[in-house]
Structure formats: structure tokens, C-alpha cells
Amino acid sequence: MKLQEFIIQEHFYKKTKDNHIISEAFKITPDFETILEILWKKCNPFLKDLIKPNWNGDFLYSGRGEHKDVIMINKVRMNRRPSDMEEELSDAFDSALYNRFGFYARSNAIFCTGDKKEAKRYGNVYMIFPVGKYKFVYSENIKDLYTETSNMGDLNREDWMDEKLDEYKEELMDEIQEEWHNLYSEGYGDGHWEYHSFDTDIEDIPYNNRDDAEEYVQDELDENGEDEQFKDIHLDWLPDVEFEDYYDMVYDEKVTDYRDELEYEWSDYIDKETYNIIDSYSNDSIINAIGSENEIMVNAKYYIALNYDKYFRALQSYYIKFGYSEPRNVKIKEWYKQNSGKIPRQLSLFRSSK
């Protein structure tokens, strides 16, 4: 089976579990005519958006680690996890981008840029061509979302909450003291007076007001024929709950409730900051996205990755010359003779006549 026919068949993608490397599978470098046909048939929506009069000659670039292969066809990961950004923060942006642009741009996308030097930081540079329908999003102002949100990422939720809780606990004693005072304070809270002297004990005085309690005690002393006179130093207020017991009773509950409030506060903070940043994102034009030289998140089911060093000059020269044109309608051999100085010599342009 011819290479291009094998690549074009959908069952190739279905059988691919990991990165399937074409050049390794066939031990050959695909010829340029084959590459042009593959891109035309499998990546046509992307080419149609890219190859226009205002195209600047750059493609989508991505650093692919230590890969040295000429061509790769990969599945876009469905559950990418962040390597640097806090996972909770990444998930918040993922949800916000989905709500705005219809795909999970952090977890279900390949990260690209229009800046070759930036792509080089992550490995050997490849040109990325989304297969079939694709989506993308980028920001005109943000080079890299992780860098932009580094200060937010430094706010680890647990560290932030622990700091807030420590501050709250320092104030909690005063708060509980005031609360206890309002519930059980002398004279009007829940509790009762008792009178204890050397000769007399009067408990459960049925008045909270001190004046009334004093009068009640004096009446009791008179009625019982006691010789002693009422002395206020013998009158004690007994709250229904002592402060120490009340503190122990409510402390844990208050800390738990405050932690729950902090969860909402944290979520509101993240949501607000997330949407403020997302407001700068757009999917207006893939040409504008590439021209921004900023991070571009691209969603598709598959993508074709072509080695930059092998194919860039050839593809750029070809598309600048012929634009968005089906390869079979193009006189490639005549073009090649006119541009032989711009095309890498090791690149095989034409299929064998066999």
C-alpha cells in the first residue's frame, strides 16, 4: 500500500495508541508531494484559514521533546494535566475557556505558538497541522498563561487558607468572649443568682436583675428571722454555661464554618481572576494567533507534526507561491527548478516513477 493511502485511511488513527511515527514505521522519509496531498486531504480546514493573502509565512510551532522524526501523526490528549500550574487553577481556566470557546483548552489541546524560538525551548520544533475540524484560542496580550498566572499559582489554597485561619484564630477569643457575654452575662443572660454567707445559703434566686435579686434575698432573710443583714459581697452570679466550657463547645464549629466560608471566598477569587484573564482571549483568526507569537491552544482529534528543519522552507515557499491550491493542480516540478536554492537538498520532492 502506498504511504499516502495508508495515512489517509481513518483506521490508521483508530489503531494508533500512542505516537505513531510514520518514518519509523516505513523506514523512509515521505516525499514532498505526498506530504502536500496529506495536508490537503486531512488538514484542509486549517489550510483554508491559514493560507490567505495576509498570511505572514509562519505556521503553528510546538516543541516536541527529543523527537527527531520527520513526520508524526498524534492524537490530541484528552486529559492533559498541568506540569507547572496549580491543578485547581488550571481546572478553573479550563472550565472558563470551555464556557467561552466550547472546548477544554487546557486539558484537551496541543499547545503551540507562532514563535519558533519559544517552541525551541520545549524541544525539537515541529510544524503542527490539525486534522479535520479544529478549534483554537489565544490571547493578544498573554505570552504564556502559566507565567501570567504565576502569582495566582503561588497562592496555594491550603497555604492561603491556613494563613487566613491563623489570623481568624487570633481574633476568635474576643469573638467568643463577646458572644458568651451576650448569652450569659450577669443580670440579663442565662443563669441565676445565689447568696452564700457564713450562716445562710439561698440558691436559685428567681430574678436575673441584681436589684430584684438583692430585694428577694433581704425578704428571705427577714422572713426566716435571720439576724444578719444582706451583704452584696455574698451574692454570686452563676451562668448556665461557664466561659471555658462555652469556648470548648463552639471553637471547633466556628473554625469549621470559617473554613467553609474560605472555600467560597477562594472559589470566588479564582473565578473572578480567571474570567478577568479570559476576557483577553480570542479565536478570531488563526493568522492573528500565529502572528501574536503567543501561546495558542489548539483542539482537534488528531494533528500532523512535520519536522521544522526538514519541511519549513519547502512548505513556506510552496504556499507563498501557490496559496490555497490543491496539489494535483500545481506544476510542482517547474516550481522546484525555480526555487531549488531555497529547498533543502535532502528533501525528496517527488515519488519514484516505479
pLDDT at 354: 36
pLDDT tens profile 238-261: 999 999 999 999 999 999 999 999
Please tell me the distance from the alpha carbon of residue 112 to that of residue 107, in angstroms, as a whole number: 14
Cell of 124: 525539537
Could you tell me the pLDDT band of residue 333, with boundaries at 50, 70 and 90? low
Higher pLDDT, 225 or 59: 59
Residue type, 260: D
The answer to whether residues 271 and 92 touch, using CB atoms and an 8 Å cutoff, is: yes
Contacts of 68 (CB under 8 A, 6+ apart): 124, 307
Cell of 12: 490508521
pLDDT at 10: 40
Average of pLDDT values for 177-190? Answer: 88
Please tell me the distance from the alpha carbon of residue 235 to that of residue 299, in angstroms, as a whole number: 80
DSSP sequence for 229-248:
PP-GGGEEEEESS-HHHHHH
Please tell me the distance from the alpha carbon of residue 316 to that of residue 61, in angstroms, as a whole number: 13
Could you tell me the pLDDT band of residue 350, with boundaries at 50, 70 and 90? very low
Quick check: 61 pLDDT over 90?
yes
pLDDT at 351: 42
How many other C-beta atoms can be found within 10 angstroms of the C-beta atom of residue 278? 20
Quote the pTM value.
0.68
Tell me which residue of 263, 194, 273, 278 sits closest to 233, measured CA to CA: 194
pLDDT tens profile 9-60: 443 433 444 444 343 333 456 678 888 888 999 999 999 999 999 999 999 9
Query: What b-and-e string marks burial along 132-151, b requiring 16 or more CB atoms within 10 Å of the CB?
Result: eebbbbbbeebeebbebbee
